Amino acid sequence: MNTKSCAFLLQLSRMGFSLCASKAPRCSTGALSLTTVTSTSLPHMSPHSPVLCSHSYSSSIKVRPYIQYIKHKILSPPSPPYSHVCQVGDPVLRSQAAAVDPAAITGAEIQQVINTMVKVMRKLECVGLSAPQIGVPLRILALEYPEQMLKDSSPALRDSLGISVQPLRIFVNPKLRVLDGRTVVFQEACESISGFSATVSRYLSVEVSGLNAKGEAVTWQASGWPARILQHEMDHLDGVLYIDRMDSKTFIDVNWPSHNE
């Protein structure tokens, strides 16, 4: 889950889906220009008639695959753990993540996965991330709710949603237990389904137990927004995405206003 998306979603809920998005940049002229005009396609114009734009958008389309081809010839393709987040459609996001051997947690391989997760999570300003999202089908999740995110929300919103600053927490082989069976419906977004959002029902309070990055047994009880993050990331470990639990009528492109400008 992304902090910027979360801030937007918090505003979205308060405003009753009345979005106030920043103005998106206009399309470049190349995307809308006529690249060729002939006397056969437009009989009233001569072959020497001026065209709207001399730039061909199709040329850039042809160049990109060639650049990608050269790039892959020179550089070997990346391998997991990725420094990016896998997008919906990648089979790893729909697989059942495997348990980690406790004895291997402090080893170099698992530590690399954990360090990469934290690095990617902070780079993208996420509040939670799972190992499958960086291409590793293992039962590892991380969450962190930074202070800056808290500052971006109003006190009233913090109280109503149970938002609080959370230090970095790593859970290996986590198990979730519901503490409060009541549910709360709120907007969610996901870095693996970039640019979209929908309302999802989650339990109000949960408990997670597992091993930390040092292989030590840990247990944590969470409620409100942190509990939502936990449930969202736990779903990833079972190949479940929020779109599987969402109210489909609330599914939106968060940037939809810019498409109408």
Average pLDDT of adjacent 10-residue blocks, the chain of 261 residues: 59 43 37 36 41 43 67 80 98 98 98 98 95 98 89 82 91 98 96 97 98 98 96 98 98 95 91
- Tokens representing residue 82 in the block: 């990725």
Cβ neighbours of residue 16 under 8 Å, at least 6 residues apart? none
Instruction: Say how far apart CA 167 and CA 144 lie, in whole Å.
Output: 5
Asked if residue 221 lies in contact with residue 179, where contact means CB atoms within 8 angstroms, the answer is yes
- Predicted local distance difference test score (pLDDT) of residue 7: 56
Burial class from Cβ neighbours inside 10 Å (0-12, 13-18, 19+) for residue 227 reads buried
> For residue 189, is it within any domain?
yes
- Give the closest residue to 170 by CA, choosing from 129, 228, 198: 129
Residue 233 bears catalytic tag: yes
> For residue 39, is it within any domain?
no
> For residue 115, is it within any domain?
yes
Q: What is the CATH number of the domain that holds 211?
A: 3.90.45.10
Residue type, 192: S
> For residue 109, is it within any domain?
yes
- Give the closest residue to 2 by CA, choosing from 193, 212, 237: 193
- Predicted local distance difference test score (pLDDT) of residue 67: 72
Host domain of residue 120: 82-255
Catalytic residue among 125, 216, 233, 261: 233
> For residue 110, is it within any domain?
yes
Between the CA of residue 116 and those of 34, 85, 93, 169, what are the distances in Å? 46, 11, 17, 14
Instruction: Say how far apart CA 206 and CA 62 lie, in whole Å.
Output: 52
> For residue 27, is it within any domain?
no
Q: How many domains does the chain have?
A: 1
Place of tokens 């913090």: 158
> For residue 30, is it within any domain?
no
- Predicted local distance difference test score (pLDDT) of residue 155: 87
- Predicted local distance difference test score (pLDDT) of residue 137: 98
> For residue 19, is it within any domain?
no
